[in-house]
Protein backbone atom coordinates (compact mmCIF):
# COMPACT_ATOMS: atom_id res chain seq x y z
CA UNK A 1 0.00 0.00 0.00
CA UNK A 2 1.21 3.51 -0.84
CA UNK A 3 0.30 6.76 0.89
CA UNK A 4 0.51 10.25 -0.61
CA UNK A 5 -0.12 13.62 1.02
CA UNK A 6 -1.92 16.19 -1.15
CA UNK A 7 -3.01 19.49 0.43
CA UNK A 8 -2.74 17.95 3.92
CA UNK A 9 -5.04 15.10 2.87
CA UNK A 10 -3.65 11.58 3.03
CA UNK A 11 -4.62 9.24 0.19
CA UNK A 12 -4.05 5.49 0.63
CA UNK A 13 -3.61 3.45 -2.54
CA UNK A 14 -4.34 -0.20 -1.85
CA UNK A 15 -3.54 -1.34 -5.41
CA UNK A 16 -0.47 0.69 -6.25
CA UNK A 17 1.28 -2.34 -7.74
CA UNK A 18 4.47 -1.97 -5.71
CA UNK A 19 6.41 -5.11 -5.01
CA UNK A 20 6.82 -6.35 -1.47
CA UNK A 21 10.23 -6.33 0.18
CA UNK A 22 11.85 -9.76 -0.31
CA UNK A 23 12.00 -11.85 2.85
CA UNK A 24 15.53 -13.06 2.08
CA UNK A 25 17.06 -9.58 2.41
CA UNK A 26 19.33 -9.20 5.41
CA UNK A 27 18.90 -6.46 8.01
CA UNK A 28 21.55 -4.16 6.51
CA UNK A 29 19.89 -4.09 3.10
CA UNK A 30 16.48 -3.57 4.66
CA UNK A 31 17.78 -0.51 6.53
CA UNK A 32 19.17 0.93 3.30
CA UNK A 33 15.82 0.48 1.57
CA UNK A 34 14.05 2.36 4.36
CA UNK A 35 16.09 5.48 3.51
CA UNK A 36 14.67 5.64 -0.02
CA UNK A 37 11.88 8.16 -0.61
CA UNK A 38 9.61 5.57 -2.16
CA UNK A 39 9.94 3.27 0.83
CA UNK A 40 9.17 6.07 3.30
CA UNK A 41 5.76 6.51 1.67
CA UNK A 42 4.93 2.81 1.79
CA UNK A 43 2.78 1.09 4.40
CA UNK A 44 2.98 -2.68 4.63
CA UNK A 45 -0.21 -4.56 5.47
CA UNK A 46 -0.58 -7.67 7.61
CA UNK A 47 -1.20 -10.64 5.34
CA UNK A 48 -4.48 -12.49 5.89
CA UNK A 49 -5.86 -9.85 8.27
CA UNK A 50 -9.47 -10.93 7.81
CA UNK A 51 -12.23 -13.28 8.97
CA UNK A 52 -14.31 -15.70 6.85
CA UNK A 53 -17.62 -13.91 7.59
CA UNK A 54 -17.39 -11.33 10.38
CA UNK A 55 -15.20 -10.10 13.22
CA UNK A 56 -16.61 -9.39 16.68
CA UNK A 57 -13.70 -8.29 18.90
CA UNK A 58 -10.23 -6.90 18.27
CA UNK A 59 -7.53 -6.06 20.82
CA UNK A 60 -3.80 -5.37 20.83
CA UNK A 61 -1.44 -6.63 23.51
CA UNK A 62 0.10 -4.08 25.85
CA UNK A 63 3.56 -4.57 24.35
CA UNK A 64 2.14 -3.60 20.94
CA UNK A 65 3.47 -6.73 19.21
CA UNK A 66 0.34 -8.84 18.72
CA UNK A 67 -3.27 -8.32 17.62
CA UNK A 68 -6.10 -10.64 18.67
CA UNK A 69 -9.23 -10.86 16.50
CA UNK A 70 -12.31 -13.01 17.15
CA UNK A 71 -14.94 -13.77 14.55
CA UNK A 72 -16.97 -16.35 12.64
CA UNK A 73 -17.88 -18.65 10.97
CA UNK A 74 -16.71 -21.07 12.45
CA UNK A 75 -16.17 -19.17 15.75
CA UNK A 76 -12.44 -18.60 16.12
CA UNK A 77 -9.63 -16.37 17.30
CA UNK A 78 -6.63 -15.29 15.27
CA UNK A 79 -3.42 -13.81 16.63
CA UNK A 80 -1.31 -11.67 14.29
CA UNK A 81 2.35 -10.78 14.74
CA UNK A 82 2.89 -7.09 13.99
CA UNK A 83 6.65 -7.45 13.44
CA UNK A 84 6.30 -10.35 11.01
CA UNK A 85 3.10 -8.93 9.43
CA UNK A 86 1.58 -12.40 9.42
CA UNK A 87 -0.73 -14.79 11.25
CA UNK A 88 0.92 -16.31 14.34
CA UNK A 89 -1.79 -18.84 15.25
CA UNK A 90 -5.49 -19.59 14.94
CA UNK A 91 -7.81 -21.42 17.35
CA UNK A 92 -11.44 -22.43 16.88
CA UNK A 93 -14.24 -22.27 19.47
CA UNK A 94 -17.45 -24.22 19.95
CA UNK A 95 -19.47 -21.03 20.51
CA UNK A 96 -19.36 -17.36 19.60
CA UNK A 97 -16.99 -15.14 21.57
CA UNK A 98 -18.73 -12.17 23.19
CA UNK A 99 -15.69 -10.46 24.69
CA UNK A 100 -12.03 -11.14 25.35
CA UNK A 101 -9.48 -9.75 27.78
CA UNK A 102 -5.70 -9.99 27.39
CA UNK A 103 -4.20 -10.62 30.84
CA UNK A 104 -0.47 -10.59 30.04
CA UNK A 105 1.87 -8.19 28.27
CA UNK A 106 2.04 -10.51 25.25
CA UNK A 107 -0.17 -13.24 23.78
CA UNK A 108 0.47 -15.85 26.50
CA UNK A 109 -2.62 -15.25 28.71
CA UNK A 110 -6.06 -14.42 27.30
CA UNK A 111 -9.64 -14.79 28.56
CA UNK A 112 -12.58 -15.40 26.22
CA UNK A 113 -16.23 -14.99 27.26
CA UNK A 114 -18.61 -17.11 25.16
CA UNK A 115 -22.32 -17.02 24.38
CA UNK A 116 -23.00 -20.34 26.17
CA UNK A 117 -22.03 -18.96 29.63
CA UNK A 118 -18.55 -20.49 29.42
CA UNK A 119 -15.32 -18.55 30.00
CA UNK A 120 -12.08 -19.97 28.58
CA UNK A 121 -8.59 -19.18 29.86
CA UNK A 122 -5.94 -19.64 27.18
CA UNK A 123 -2.17 -19.88 27.48
CA UNK A 124 0.39 -19.82 24.68
CA UNK A 125 -0.25 -23.53 23.99
CA UNK A 126 -4.07 -23.41 23.88
CA UNK A 127 -7.11 -23.75 26.15
CA UNK A 128 -5.84 -23.99 29.73
CA UNK A 129 -9.00 -23.88 31.88
CA UNK A 130 -12.76 -23.40 31.48
CA UNK A 131 -15.39 -22.15 33.93
CA UNK A 132 -19.10 -21.44 33.65
CA UNK A 133 -20.99 -18.43 34.98
CA UNK A 134 -24.37 -18.86 36.72
CA UNK A 135 -25.98 -16.37 34.30
CA UNK A 136 -25.14 -15.27 30.77
CA UNK A 137 -22.23 -12.84 30.74
CA UNK A 138 -21.98 -9.74 28.57
CA UNK A 139 -18.72 -8.09 29.63
CA UNK A 140 -15.70 -8.71 31.85
CA UNK A 141 -12.59 -6.95 33.11
CA UNK A 142 -9.54 -7.95 35.13
CA UNK A 143 -8.17 -6.48 38.35
CA UNK A 144 -4.42 -7.04 38.16
CA UNK A 145 -3.60 -6.24 41.80
CA UNK A 146 -5.78 -9.06 43.19
CA UNK A 147 -5.98 -11.44 40.17
CA UNK A 148 -9.79 -11.11 40.12
CA UNK A 149 -11.87 -11.41 36.96
CA UNK A 150 -15.11 -9.40 37.24
CA UNK A 151 -18.03 -10.50 35.03
CA UNK A 152 -21.36 -8.75 34.43
CA UNK A 153 -24.37 -9.82 32.40
CA UNK A 154 -28.05 -10.73 32.56
CA UNK A 155 -28.22 -10.60 36.35
CA UNK A 156 -28.05 -8.13 39.21
CA UNK A 157 -24.91 -9.83 40.55
CA UNK A 158 -21.32 -9.02 39.60
CA UNK A 159 -19.36 -12.26 39.62
CA UNK A 160 -15.76 -12.34 40.86
CA UNK A 161 -13.43 -15.19 39.96
CA UNK A 162 -9.99 -15.29 41.56
CA UNK A 163 -7.38 -16.74 39.20
CA UNK A 164 -4.87 -17.39 41.98
CA UNK A 165 -7.28 -19.48 44.07
CA UNK A 166 -9.17 -20.87 41.08
CA UNK A 167 -12.60 -20.28 42.58
CA UNK A 168 -15.50 -17.83 42.69
CA UNK A 169 -15.62 -15.20 45.42
CA UNK A 170 -18.72 -13.67 46.95
CA UNK A 171 -20.43 -11.64 44.19
CA UNK A 172 -21.35 -7.97 44.39
CA UNK A 173 -25.07 -7.27 44.44
CA UNK A 174 -26.89 -4.43 42.67
CA UNK A 175 -30.44 -3.11 42.39
CA UNK A 176 -30.16 -3.15 38.58
CA UNK A 177 -31.56 -6.10 36.63
CA UNK A 178 -28.51 -6.46 34.40
CA UNK A 179 -25.39 -4.87 32.95
CA UNK A 180 -24.00 -4.40 29.44
CA UNK A 181 -20.49 -3.05 30.10
CA UNK A 182 -17.83 -2.80 32.78
CA UNK A 183 -14.29 -1.49 33.22
CA UNK A 184 -11.65 -0.92 35.88
CA UNK A 185 -9.94 2.43 36.12
CA UNK A 186 -6.24 1.58 35.61
CA UNK A 187 -5.08 4.31 38.02
CA UNK A 188 -7.16 3.84 41.18
CA UNK A 189 -9.05 0.62 40.28
CA UNK A 190 -12.55 2.04 40.61
CA UNK A 191 -14.89 -0.50 39.01
CA UNK A 192 -17.59 1.03 36.80
CA UNK A 193 -20.42 -0.84 35.11
CA UNK A 194 -23.32 0.29 32.93
CA UNK A 195 -26.80 -1.09 33.56
CA UNK A 196 -29.71 -1.85 31.25
CA UNK A 197 -31.70 0.84 33.11
CA UNK A 198 -29.22 3.49 32.02
CA UNK A 199 -27.29 3.84 35.28
CA UNK A 200 -23.54 4.09 35.74
CA UNK A 201 -22.64 2.27 38.96
CA UNK A 202 -19.20 2.55 40.54
CA UNK A 203 -17.81 0.10 43.10
CA UNK A 204 -14.75 0.22 45.33
CA UNK A 205 -13.23 -3.29 45.15
CA UNK A 206 -11.41 -2.76 48.46
CA UNK A 207 -14.67 -2.57 50.45
CA UNK A 208 -16.81 -4.34 47.82
CA UNK A 209 -19.64 -1.80 47.99
CA UNK A 210 -21.35 0.78 45.79
CA UNK A 211 -19.73 4.21 46.08
CA UNK A 212 -21.50 6.08 43.26
CA UNK A 213 -24.56 5.87 41.03
CA UNK A 214 -25.26 8.20 38.09
CA UNK A 215 -28.52 8.14 36.14
CA UNK A 216 -27.30 8.60 32.55
CA UNK A 217 -30.69 7.91 30.96
CA UNK A 218 -32.13 11.28 32.00
CA UNK A 219 -29.45 13.11 29.98
CA UNK A 220 -29.81 11.00 26.82
CA UNK A 221 -32.45 11.84 24.23
CA UNK A 222 -34.50 8.70 23.58
CA UNK A 223 -36.56 8.20 20.42
CA UNK A 224 -37.64 4.69 21.38
CA UNK A 225 -40.95 5.56 23.04
CA UNK A 226 -41.34 5.07 26.77
CA UNK A 227 -38.27 2.87 27.21
CA UNK A 228 -35.20 4.45 28.77
CA UNK A 229 -31.84 4.15 26.99
CA UNK A 230 -29.43 1.61 28.42
CA UNK A 231 -25.69 2.02 28.88
CA UNK A 232 -24.02 0.13 26.01
CA UNK A 233 -20.31 0.84 26.67
CA UNK A 234 -18.01 2.79 28.98
CA UNK A 235 -14.40 3.97 28.77
CA UNK A 236 -12.14 5.68 31.31
CA UNK A 237 -9.89 8.42 29.95
CA UNK A 238 -7.87 8.98 33.11
CA UNK A 239 -8.40 8.97 36.86
CA UNK A 240 -11.33 11.41 36.72
CA UNK A 241 -12.92 11.40 33.26
CA UNK A 242 -15.17 8.68 31.86
CA UNK A 243 -17.18 8.37 28.64
CA UNK A 244 -20.53 6.59 28.68
CA UNK A 245 -22.20 5.34 25.49
CA UNK A 246 -25.95 4.72 25.37
CA UNK A 247 -28.18 2.40 23.36
CA UNK A 248 -29.71 5.42 21.60
CA UNK A 249 -26.46 6.78 20.15
CA UNK A 250 -25.26 9.38 22.68
CA UNK A 251 -21.88 9.66 24.40
CA UNK A 252 -21.86 11.39 27.76
CA UNK A 253 -18.60 12.75 29.18
CA UNK A 254 -18.48 12.75 32.98
CA UNK A 255 -16.13 13.91 35.67
CA UNK A 256 -16.62 11.22 38.32
CA UNK A 257 -16.79 13.97 40.98
CA UNK A 258 -20.03 15.24 39.40
CA UNK A 259 -23.31 13.53 38.56
CA UNK A 260 -23.91 15.72 35.49
CA UNK A 261 -22.14 15.33 32.11
CA UNK A 262 -19.96 18.21 30.99
CA UNK A 263 -20.39 17.28 27.31
CA UNK A 264 -22.86 15.20 25.27
CA UNK A 265 -22.20 13.95 21.73
CA UNK A 266 -25.01 12.50 19.61
CA UNK A 267 -24.40 10.22 16.60
CA UNK A 268 -27.96 11.01 15.40
CA UNK A 269 -28.60 7.46 14.19
CA UNK A 270 -30.40 6.13 17.29
CA UNK A 271 -28.07 3.09 17.26
CA UNK A 272 -26.18 1.67 20.26
CA UNK A 273 -22.64 2.91 20.73
CA UNK A 274 -20.38 -0.11 20.28
CA UNK A 275 -17.06 1.24 21.52
CA UNK A 276 -15.38 4.42 22.74
CA UNK A 277 -11.67 5.21 22.83
CA UNK A 278 -9.38 8.20 23.30
CA UNK A 279 -6.64 9.38 20.96
CA UNK A 280 -3.18 8.61 22.31
CA UNK A 281 -1.52 11.79 20.95
CA UNK A 282 -4.29 14.34 21.52
CA UNK A 283 -6.10 13.84 24.82
CA UNK A 284 -9.12 15.86 23.71
CA UNK A 285 -9.98 13.65 20.71
CA UNK A 286 -12.57 10.91 21.24
CA UNK A 287 -13.31 8.04 18.85
CA UNK A 288 -16.79 6.50 19.00
CA UNK A 289 -18.39 3.90 16.76
CA UNK A 290 -21.85 2.46 16.22
CA UNK A 291 -23.20 0.02 13.66
CA UNK A 292 -23.19 2.64 10.90
CA UNK A 293 -20.46 5.21 11.48
CA UNK A 294 -17.22 6.02 13.30
CA UNK A 295 -16.80 9.59 14.55
CA UNK A 296 -13.75 11.48 15.80
CA UNK A 297 -14.61 14.55 17.85
CA UNK A 298 -13.35 16.90 20.55
CA UNK A 299 -14.64 16.17 24.04
CA UNK A 300 -14.95 19.89 24.82
CA UNK A 301 -16.54 21.18 21.60
CA pair distance 41, 31, nearest whole angstrom: 15
pTM comes to 0.83
CA pair distance 201, 33, nearest whole angstrom: 54
pLDDT of residue 226: 61
Q: Are 111 and 118 in contact (CB under 8 A)?
A: no
CA pair distance 10, 3, nearest whole angstrom: 7
Domains of the chain, by residue range, sit at 1-45, 47-132, 133-301
Residues in the chain, how many? 301
CA pair distance 286, 280, nearest whole angstrom: 10
CA pair distance 60, 53, nearest whole angstrom: 21
- SS3 state at 30: helix
pLDDT of residue 280: 79
Q: Residue 212 pairs with which residues in a beta bridge? A: 202
Q: Residue 193 pairs with which residues in a beta bridge? A: 182, 201
CA pair distance 151, 204, nearest whole angstrom: 15
What are the 10-residue block averages of pLDDT along the chain, 301 residues in total?
A: 76 64 59 59 71 90 94 92 89 93 94 94 93 93 94 95 94 93 94 94 93 90 70 94 94 93 92 91 88 90 80
pLDDT of residue 42: 60
pLDDT of residue 12: 75
pLDDT of residue 168: 95
Q: Are 234 and 276 in contact (CB under 8 A)?
A: yes
Q: Are 229 and 220 in contact (CB under 8 A)?
A: yes
Q: Residue 285 pairs with which residues in a beta bridge? A: 298
- What's the chain's Rg over C-alpha atoms? 21
pLDDT of residue 7: 80
pLDDT of residue 3: 74
Dihedral sign for Cα atoms in the order 186, 190, 194, 198: negative
Query: Chain-wide mean pLDDT for the chain?
Result: 87
pLDDT of residue 30: 60
Which CATH code is given to the segment(s) 47-132?
A: 2.40.10.480
CA pair distance 77, 248, nearest whole angstrom: 30
In this structure, the number of other CB atoms found within 10 A of the CB of residue 210 comes to: 14
CA pair distance 192, 185, nearest whole angstrom: 8
pLDDT of residue 220: 82
Domain 133-301 CATH superfamily: YVTN repeat-like/Quinoprotein amine dehydrogenase (2.130.10.10)
Amino acid sequence: MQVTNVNDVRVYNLTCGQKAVPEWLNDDKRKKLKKEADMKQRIELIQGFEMPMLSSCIQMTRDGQYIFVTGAYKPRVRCYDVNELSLKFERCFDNECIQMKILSEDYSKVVFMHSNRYIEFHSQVGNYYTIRTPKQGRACDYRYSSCDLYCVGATNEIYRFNLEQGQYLEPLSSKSTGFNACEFNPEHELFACGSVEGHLECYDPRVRSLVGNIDCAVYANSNSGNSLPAVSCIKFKDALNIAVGTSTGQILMFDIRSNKPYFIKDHNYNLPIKRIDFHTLNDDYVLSIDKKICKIWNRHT
